[in-house]
Amino acid sequence: MRNLIVLGFVGFLAQLIDGSLGMAYGVTSSTLLLTAGIAPAAASAAVHFSEIGTTLVSGFSHHKLGNVYWRTVSIIAVPGGIGAFFGATFLSSIPGDVAKPWVAALLLALGVYVIWRFLILGGRRPQFSGTLSKRFLAPLGLFAGAMDAIGGGGWGPVGTTSLLSSGRLEPRKVVGSIDTSEFVVAVGGSLGFLLALGSQGIDFTLAAALFVGGAIAAPIAAWLVRHLAARVLGVAAGGLIVLTNTKTILESLGMQGSLVAVTAGVLFVAWISAIVWAVKQERLARALETETASPEAPAPAAV
């Protein structure tokens, strides 16, 4: 029972982060399950089955709060589900660890770009315009869905990072759209695992514990992302991308745990500092807007 409560708490924290920043539910949950000695395929399967419920609750919450851009969801979701299905089916034969550091390097570069883009604004507010083409969204969904099933998490890191770096969609719309479309990805991945592993190879108790915690956190995260400024949300998401993928790259290069921990600590401090700077810039921008919008003081009456 204690283990299930711990898993429920992990699901809560993972969904709170995922629903706010658009990533990390699968990565967080899968990491814990792998640490506990559960096989990669079984861990990813449990996470995907729990996500069927958490993404449904999260998507509904984001929709009610206006965080979803349905055009993006309608294009990216189905390819994502297809990619997750085939990624889950062939997980046992695909060397995911070989591709992981290369994907992490790409995501790291995109994460740095996201941070840079939102920090160079100075006192200006970020502007978002235009739409993303189907030629961009459909292959992105296919690739992100496959990586999600193979690595136990990847839909958010790949999808959110790519959409944020495009500069076309407001960050809260990116997070809401990615979280909502992830329901189809979770269904596709779960069907693939059922086909590859059978019901005997999936621990539904683990999935249920993760789901309960995640379902509680989903509405809170959807509300939070709506009230976070675009600049702050962009820097926060970009920092998480850099932090997690730097750790992945260092570990794949055989770096010792102490060096990885020190590097992660330095990056964490830099990440928090960047968020603080973004908050200050947002306050400056709002102050400038208030001064510009306020009517000029009336001229003194002639004597």
**Structural domain boundaries in the chain:** 2-289
Tokens of 11: 């699901």
Query: Is the distance from CB of 146 to CB of 84 less than 8 angstroms?
Result: yes
Query: Is the distance from CB of 168 to CB of 128 less than 8 angstroms?
Result: yes
Query: Is the distance from CB of 26 to CB of 153 less than 8 angstroms?
Result: yes
Distance in angstroms between the alpha carbons of the first and the last residue of the chain: 83
Q: Token pair 């004597």 is at which residue? A: 303
Global model pTM greater than 0.85: no
One digit per residue, the tens of pLDDT, for the chain of length 303 reads 666 777 787 778 777 777 766 676 776 677 666 656 666 667 777 887 888 888 899 889 989 888 898 999 999 999 999 998 988 877 655 555 665 676 667 667 767 766 776 676 555 555 556 678 888 999 999 988 987 777 666 787 788 878 877 777 888 888 889 989 989 998 998 888 788 767 666 678 888 888 888 888 888 888 887 777 767 777 877 787 788 778 878 887 888 778 888 998 999 999 899 888 888 887 887 777 677 665 554 554 443
**Separation between Cα atoms, residue 126 and residue 117, nearest integer Å:** 9
Query: Is the distance from CB of 269 to CB of 242 less than 8 angstroms?
Result: no
Query: Is the distance from CB of 149 to CB of 189 less than 8 angstroms?
Result: yes
Q: Three-state SS for 203? A: coil
Tokens of 291: 């001064």
Alpha helix stretches (DSSP H) within the chain: 2-21, 25-35, 40-64, 70-89, 96-119, 134-151, 155-166, 171-197, 204-227, 230-252, 257-293
Tokens of 105: 């390097």
Q: How many other C-beta atoms lie within 10 A of the C-beta of residue 273?
A: 11
Query: Sign of the C-alpha dihedral, residues 248, 250, 254, 256?
Result: negative
